[in-house]
Structure 1
Amino acid sequence: MEELSPERARARLLDAVQNEQAGRLDEAEQILKTLLEIDPSQVRCLCLMGRVQRRLQKYAEAARYLNAAQAMAPTAPPVSYELARLATDQGDLKAAIGYLQYLTQLKPMVGDNWFDLGYVLEMEGRWGRAIDAFRRAIQLGDSNNEETFTHLGSVLAQDGQEAAARENYQKALELNPEHASAMYGLGMVITAFGEFEEASQWFRRAARRDPNLVEVYQQLAAVRRFESVDDPDIVLMTELLAAPERDDLSREKLHFALGKTFDDCGEHDRAFEHISAANRLKRDRKGGFDIERHRDLVGRIITTFDQEFFAGFGPRGSQSKQPVFIVGMPRSGTSLIEQILASHPRVNGAGELRFIEQASRTRVALYPDLVSTLDAPALEAAAEDYLKKLRERGGNIRHITDKYPANFLHIGFIRLLFPKAKIIHCRRNAVDTCLSIYFQDFATANLYANRLEDIGSYYQCYQRLMGHWMEQGSELLLTVDYEALTADLEGQVRTMVEWLELEWDPACLDYTSNRRAVSTLSRWQVRQPVYQSSVERWRRYEKHLGVLLELFPNQD
């Protein structure tokens, strides 16, 4: 076997590094194989070979080389970094976070390490911890500052801190005025405050800077109503979609955007064709929905939270009436109702908070089956922790709304934490709701949303569970029908205000003037007057909705 002098070995390793950096992965692989045959204990070679194998998507081989490197040098930072990259590429974000946390412990003063940790925490949806990591990176003078400010803006926006997000996007643009992602993010935050014209300008600037950032066109489609299929934006999006080099994710985003624009124009067949294509692509990318697993969860919730269960707990949690929970299916009117109530001077809207869902997972070993193991001190601590987070967003005011729709799954847990809190249930026609969900590109993992049959089955589970909660006692649960709200806005709003034991205030009817931040997919609609065109919208798409009409046959 050929022997190399140390100088020659270093030169060959440098060749491998340069080939890997230039994307010549096969050449790098061959050089590294030769070096490792001569000396299989070279940690740098093993680590670089792991990176090359990962980039070649040979994940098992990558793991073999990196595990060998880790066994020889368990505290070597490059090994932990490459293991984190491998775990990320394989979708094992928890493992990646573990490696990166270890890396920040090994090298706590390296800003890049904190940026990498924040990036994976952002991917995992752990906004609070991602915010802390990105801020730590900035404090340490992270070399990717404009990227760090952009990512910090993104997680702050996801966490409902829109004003802080806006500041960070602006800081990123001060460092690099041509940063397309920062322009896009700033536009997104500005839409939350209802400043749609300014947001559109930022979206168009981002598109000029990076024509491949097709998410821009999705947002341009979302912030206005289209009148003609000859609109220049529709023409441009159609041309972009037809480009042969377009990747599947970009095509997915453009299909969602065109579906919305053609729906605006009354071209319902073309709209449905685009939306169906978008959902097929997204389902292929994200995976299908396990409806049987969800049915099992709903069944276990119903079995756990019965009358006997609540009777056995006695006094519990917090007696605060400050939280008001707005629940229901997505697209059922939750954003509209929060916008209306938040226009009252004694109510603030906190938006979609996942704190209840998170608490159910972190404080209960197996939810819902072992929820009965929570004792009074644990429930009180969980309630106080929630109130602290709620008040950080809503301040010290009579009521703060939490409008995370999927909290309908957690009404039993809410009643444990806040037995006196009131819950508003938004209900809308089943087929209209399901169709509206199908038209949306949800950022979160609503896997059921990409197939009509799954959406309908999920809606049936929701109906079953809401029926159960009503049977457990409805004195603190008010159901508001979307159709009734659009037909008699003032009457329904007065009912809600009175039910919350508030004095009437006409500002509730002037909700379109409320400049509070709204970050949900309904951010444009809640700035518009109530309209009845969304009632029985399904009839325009009736010929495409056979599966839904079989699940919900009584529509006339």
Structure 2
Amino acid sequence: MSPIDAINTAKTLVATEPDKAKAMLLEILNQHPEYHDGWALLADIHKRLQEHEQQQSALKQYEMIYWFNKQLETAKQQLNNQNPQQAQQIIQQLLQLVPNEYRALETLADIAFKVGDSKAHLAISKHNLENNSQKQAVIENYCQALLTTKQFNELISFYRSSIPSPTLYIESLLAIAHVKLMQFDQASAIYNKLLDANYYPAQCHLRIGNIEKIKGNTELAINHYKQSLQLDNKLGEAYWNLANLKTYVFDNEDISNLEQLTQAAKPHLNSAQFYFSLAKAYEQQGNFSLSFAMLDKANRIQKSLTPYKPSDFYSRCKKHLTEKPVANNNSDDSVQLIFIVSLPRSGSTLVEQILASHPDVDASYELTEINAIARELESKKRSAMPYGLDELSDKDKAHYAARYMNFIAPLRGENKLFIDKQPTNFHHIALIKTLFPNAKILEVTRDKAATAWSLYKHSFSEGHAYSYDFTSLAQYINDYTDLMSHWDTLYAGEIYTVDYQNLVNDFSNTVAELLRHCNLEMHENCINFYNHQRPIMTPSSEQVRQPIYKDALTQWSNYKVHLEPLLKLLK
């Protein structure tokens, strides 16, 4: 029985069995003193039993804990309102009053995460565990911290060694860790276990469907998405995942359901996904005007939920990074790192699949470790220089390079070449080249109109808030172009460009040149890349399992009349 349930049960006993209610409350509050409602009820029981001294004591506890809880709530509100400093001040005051109070420590860890200090986030969560190991919420939050800081192996190890009775929530975190380590059989087994326990079954089918999609089992993926919708026909993510399969065609029943859902929908991510999915259905019917109308509604909802906040990072890079930073002189050259960058939806997954088909190359998924290192460095810097590169010692550079290499170690095989395909790493080319001066940078470019259209029609699970509005989308693409031009100047001859149009129109020659640049011999697997069976964890997984086709080059033109305002904004 949860503390709240126990307090409510005690409340029903006050009139008839006050002594029993008191005993129940004393037991609960001894373990969970943070429930101020319990102290108020206990004071009332003492009053009924004419235990005036105990009543006064309980009232004092109620007043102190009520005030503490209100302060804690205020701190959380400040954090939600993007005021982490004010939130931290409140929490530090509370921790001076009640050292190691577990909820205050949880909030302090959340503050660290919000400002991008993943190291502090994990350290505070671990400190909380060391001081409040009996609290289930603390154990769960530590597991969540391990997951959010990408300590996937550590989470699995902690689960096996230190959690004798894991909650179903912890099991769900474990499944995510296995997915991130590309251990899909283990993840599927956990999700099936959660299904047996009836733990969010619609979500479990959704996650199993995603795993089957990653593995290339499209029909199985569709089956699980359908089962998910049978359990919860308002699950927008399931509809969007079907739309995003590219090969799935919505039938009349699907369209009718989506039309009904959009009519009753309120503005939230789920309803936006209804509109994105319906747009795909109308596109399949050739009704491009109606399709665009649905996209317009979807993007308006997304924009209201995740407004875009432009960063000064681009201007800081161009202003302060005018000379190459001093590179790490202890770089590990036993691995040839290949970083693939681009605007999202530009063909980077195709380039990755071609290279990953080569027997001498290892590849993984869209890694975020470079971004995590960048966020940590940005949170610590004292100068205007991006990442504080002018402050990094040789020891610092070696440390962060080793951290990255340790992160990719379980994702690698025996090959020397390893691909890190993360489009948004284009921000961090100076950081990459500082830590790994011998790394190869591949930039994938595509026609701007096609890229912009592909971004606008896509529902991203997180990030990419710029893509939901023509003005911010054009600004992002223009900023990308300017920044890549800056990197090309700073690292002249060190960034190799793969043009998507050339890849489609002159496939063999473009692939041959790409392989030569990567010091790889031509291999037939790279030509027949669509036969290469490997997990692909991006929205383009279906396309790259098919031979090259040219339809994507001009698909945007079906919407040209609607896209004119956007096209005028692009440089």
Q: Is residue 332 from structure 1 mapped to residue 363 from structure 2 by the alignment?
A: no
Q: Which moved more, 1:162-171 or 1:486-495?
A: 162-171
Residue pair 1:324, 1:421 contacting (<8 A) in 2 also: yes
Residue 185 of structure 1 is matched in structure 2 by: 207
Residue 127 of structure 1 is matched in structure 2 by: 150
The match for 2:423 among 405, 416, 421 is: 405
- The AA in structure 1 aligned to 2:365 is G
Residue 478 of structure 2 is matched in structure 1 by: 460
- The AA in structure 2 aligned to 1:428 is R
The match for 2:132 among 107, 115, 123 is: 107
Residue 174 of structure 2 is matched in structure 1 by: 152
1:4-153 equivalences in 2 (<5 Å) = 42-43=60-61, 47=65, 73-75=98-100, 77=102, 80=104, 84=107, 101-108=126-133, 110-119=135-144, 125-128=148-151, 132-133=154-155, 136=158, 139-141=161-163, 145-153=167-175
CA distance, structure 2, for counterparts of residue 422 and residue 67 of structure 1: 45
CA distance, structure 1, for counterparts of residue 228 and residue 340 of structure 2: 35
Q: Which moved more, 1:344-353 or 1:296-305?
A: 296-305
- The AA in structure 2 aligned to 1:127 is K
- The AA in structure 1 aligned to 2:366 is E
- Deviation string, structure 1 residues 74-124 (Cα, Å, up to 9, x no partner): 4555x548x749979x989989978754441223255542213334665xx
Residue 274 of structure 1 is matched in structure 2 by: 294
Quote the RMSD (CA, aligned, Å): 4.2
Residue 254 of structure 2 is matched in structure 1 by: 233
CA distance, structure 2, for counterparts of residue 502 and residue 66 of structure 1: 55
- Deviation string, structure 1 residues 265-288 (Cα, Å, up to 9, x no partner): 322222222222222212212223
1:375 offset after TM fit, Å? 2.8
Residue 165 of structure 1 is matched in structure 2 by: 187
Structure 1 residues 213 and 497: alpha-carbon distance in aligned structure 2, compared to 1, 3 A threshold:
same
Residue pair 2:331, 2:436 contacting (<8 A) in 1 also: yes
Residue 550 of structure 1 is matched in structure 2 by: 568
Q: Is residue 309 from structure 1 mapped to residue 324 from structure 2 by the alignment?
A: yes
SS in structure 2 at match of 1:521: coil
- The AA in structure 2 aligned to 1:231 is N
- Deviation string, structure 1 residues 413-450 (Cα, Å, up to 9, x no partner): 22122222211110011121111111112223222122
Residue pair 1:127, 1:156 contacting (<8 A) in 2 also: no
The match for 1:198 among 207, 220, 230 is: 220
1:53 offset after TM fit, Å? 10
CA distance, structure 2, for counterparts of residue 65 and residue 359 of structure 1: 28
Structure 1 residues 454 and 178: alpha-carbon distance in aligned structure 2, compared to 1, 3 A threshold:
closer
- The AA in structure 2 aligned to 1:153 is A
Residue pair 1:87, 1:96 contacting (<8 A) in 2 also: yes
1:194 offset after TM fit, Å? 0.9
SS in structure 1 at match of 2:551: coil
CA distance, structure 2, for counterparts of residue 393 and residue 385 of structure 1: 14
Structure 1 residues 85 and 302: alpha-carbon distance in aligned structure 2, compared to 1, 3 A threshold:
closer
CA distance, structure 2, for counterparts of residue 178 and residue 444 of structure 1: 21
Q: Which moved more, 1:514-523 or 1:254-263?
A: 254-263
CA distance, structure 2, for counterparts of residue 270 and residue 136 of structure 1: 51
CA distance, structure 2, for counterparts of residue 352 and residue 274 of structure 1: 29
Residue pair 1:321, 1:421 contacting (<8 A) in 2 also: no
1:264 offset after TM fit, Å? 3.0
Residue pair 1:162, 1:517 contacting (<8 A) in 2 also: no
Residue pair 2:442, 2:497 contacting (<8 A) in 1 also: yes
Residue 22 of structure 1 is matched in structure 2 by: none
Residue pair 2:358, 2:523 contacting (<8 A) in 1 also: yes
Structure 1 residues 203 and 313: alpha-carbon distance in aligned structure 2, compared to 1, 3 A threshold:
closer
Q: Is residue 475 from structure 1 mapped to residue 493 from structure 2 by the alignment?
A: yes
CA distance, structure 2, for counterparts of residue 440 and residue 29 of structure 1: 51
Residue 297 of structure 1 is matched in structure 2 by: 313
CA distance, structure 1, for counterparts of residue 192 and residue 62 of structure 2: 40
CA distance, structure 1, for counterparts of residue 61 and residue 122 of structure 2: 23
CA distance, structure 2, for counterparts of residue 29 and residue 253 of structure 1: 45
SS in structure 1 at match of 2:324: helix
Structure 1 residues 47 and 183: alpha-carbon distance in aligned structure 2, compared to 1, 3 A threshold:
farther
Structure 1 residues 405 and 510: alpha-carbon distance in aligned structure 2, compared to 1, 3 A threshold:
same
CA distance, structure 1, for counterparts of residue 76 and residue 283 of structure 2: 44
Percent identity over paired residues: 24
1:259 offset after TM fit, Å? 2.1
1:503-522 equivalences in 2 (<5 Å) = 503-522=521-540
Residue pair 1:47, 1:65 contacting (<8 A) in 2 also: no
CA distance, structure 1, for counterparts of residue 320 and residue 76 of structure 2: 45
Residue pair 2:397, 2:435 contacting (<8 A) in 1 also: yes
- Deviation string, structure 1 residues 531-552 (Cα, Å, up to 9, x no partner): 2111133321122223322123
Q: Is residue 341 from structure 1 mapped to residue 355 from structure 2 by the alignment?
A: yes
SS in structure 2 at match of 1:534: helix
Residue 494 of structure 1 is matched in structure 2 by: 512
Residue pair 1:452, 1:547 contacting (<8 A) in 2 also: yes
Residue pair 1:43, 1:72 contacting (<8 A) in 2 also: no
Residue pair 1:342, 1:349 contacting (<8 A) in 2 also: yes
Per the normalisation by structure 2, the TM-score is 0.79
- The AA in structure 2 aligned to 1:341 is L
Residue pair 1:497, 1:504 contacting (<8 A) in 2 also: yes
Per the normalisation by structure 1, the TM-score is 0.81
- Deviation string, structure 1 residues 192-222 (Cα, Å, up to 9, x no partner): 1111111111122222223343311211222
- The AA in structure 2 aligned to 1:239 is Q
Structure 1 residues 385 and 30: alpha-carbon distance in aligned structure 2, compared to 1, 3 A threshold:
closer
1:477 offset after TM fit, Å? 1.9
SS in structure 1 at match of 2:151: helix
